[in-house]
Homo-oligomer: A and B are copies of this chain.
Amino acid sequence: MPKKIDHHKRKIQIAEATWKVIVDEGIEQATVRKIAKSAGMSVGAMRHYFTSQAELLRFSMELVSDRVIQRLKGRKYSGNPLEFVTEGIYEVLPVDEERRIEVEVWLAFSAKVLVDTTLRELSNKVYNDMHQGLENVVYALQLLKLAKDELDLDMEVNRLHALVDGMAMHHLLNPEQFTQEKMTQTLQYHLQSLCK
């Protein structure tokens, strides 16, 4: 078994090297050659883990949503209920370096989807994963008896998903106008508006 675990670990290292190239130079520059260099291995050795650039890109993108979902699932409820929900949403916002990298990779990927229709299916999967994660957060509002009775929960998931992605993008692109403080305040304002 250790060999299999190492294989998966190595794939994750390569995906993280892919993220680094995307963040530093843009997704157009994320060639197999550059990624191999960033991962500190030969192009030939990398073929052992990914047989095509498309497969590598797919794995790297899925790793973004996998990480988010993992973090959301790993949370244990404790403390103040509204804080619990708020912190769940911080998992998909660029509030620290780790999450900032994930959001940058996702935004670069999103722009590429517009002109590369072969990526549509993967884009749909990432969208659905995130939507599901946020759905759990919105439903937690109700389970914790915080939500106003008149909320339409499906609409709230659509609204929160769009709000979160829009805020993440605004903070990444215009950090001086839409500061991290404004981003977290806007989120808190939004969540409070949903609560009794």
Contacts and interface: CB of A to CB of B under 8 A. Distances in A.
Interface string A155-168: 10011011111110
A190 interface: yes
A164 B162 CA distance: 7
A31 to B, nearest CB: 13
Interface residues of A, number: 46
Interface string A165-177: 1110110111011
B158 A186 contact: yes
B177 A124 contact: yes
Contacts of A84: none
A129 to B, nearest CB: 12
A159 B189 contact: yes
A143 interface: no
A85 B165 CA distance: 23
A145 B23 CA distance: 46
A8 interface: no
A162 to B, nearest CB: 3
Contacts of A136: none
A118 to B, nearest CB: 13
A94 to B, nearest CB: 11
A1 interface: no
A112 interface: yes
